[in-house]
Amino acid sequence: MTRIAIADESGIQAGNKVYGIGAFVMPAQSHAKLDQHLRGRLAERNITHELKWSDTPSRPYIEFACEGVELLLNCGARYYSIIVEKATYRNWHQDREEAFYQTYQLLASHIAKSGDDAFELRIDERSDRYDKRADVVRIITNYATAKRQGTADLLDVKMIDSKVSVILQLADMLTGAITADSHRYLTGDAPLSPAKGELIKRFAGLVGWDRLCYDTLPNPMFNIWHFPIEFRARPRTLRVRPPGERLTA
């Protein structure tokens, strides 16, 4: 059974102490149904504009984002993210584009190790100096995982327009929230709109947390990986609630 991984990034711009890449991963056979259902919910809420963490979300956007992320987690989608502290990531200070895609490859390799089923990776469109970045991610990921037992092949990497994928938009919202709260933790007083503060708190509540600046031990549901190693367990490493606990909490 093929899997689909849909990913987006947040915090690349100057001024942020961290950046993040996050992906929802699900069986290919359930992807179209989930996306169709989410589009129906968007229509019911009269939401016509793309969801973006960089915007200031209104009440309908907040409610849909929370509903959508919870739906994905409850329907078997898994979330994987890598949150990178720029100050301790040496490659970031040499070539930012190259460093960014190196961490994309690390995340893709982690997804490959998380299941036996081959997967396709769909990422948000970017303007890069080198236009073959997607191919390089596929080639290097497969090379890095080829000799490890229990790893899956990365079949393809495609750049897609975020407007055509509600799931990618939700990946943007959740990854943006994690990145923003991690930046806030490192600065201590980074300004944040009340709407975004609410989203962080409500997303965190889905896994039994008070905020999103933590990292996790590997688990089959919701993963935050702080990178590089100097950023691990800052401020803490926490377990996440399994889906049954989350539904009854």
Domain boundaries, the chain: 3-248
Indicate the burial class of 29 (C-beta count within 10 angstroms; 0-12, 13-18, 19 or more).
exposed
pLDDT digits (tens, 9 = 90+) for 49-98: 899 999 988 899 999 999 999 999 999 999 999 999 999 999 999 999 99
So what's the pLDDT on residue 247?
39
CATH topology of domain 3-248: Nucleotidyltransferase; domain 5 (3.30.420)
Range scoring the smallest mean pLDDT among 9-18, 72-81, 112-121, 227-236? 112-121
Q: Given pLDDT bands bounded at 50, 70 and 90, which one contains residue 245?
A: low
Q: Output the average pLDDT for the chain.
A: 92
**DSSP string computed for 27-75:** EHHHHHHHHHHHHHHHHHTT--SPP-TTS---HHHHHHHHHHHHHHHHT
Cβ–Cβ < 8 Å for 66, 199? yes
The H helix count followed by the E strand count for the chain is 7, 8
Specify the residue for token string 């081959």.
118
Q: Is residue 130 scored above 50 in pLDDT?
A: yes
So what's the pLDDT on residue 249?
32
Q: Is residue 27 scored above 60 in pLDDT?
A: yes
Q: Report the DSSP pairing between strands 222-227 and 78-85.
A: parallel
Q: What is the pTM of this model?
A: 0.94
Q: Is residue 242 scored above 90 in pLDDT?
A: no
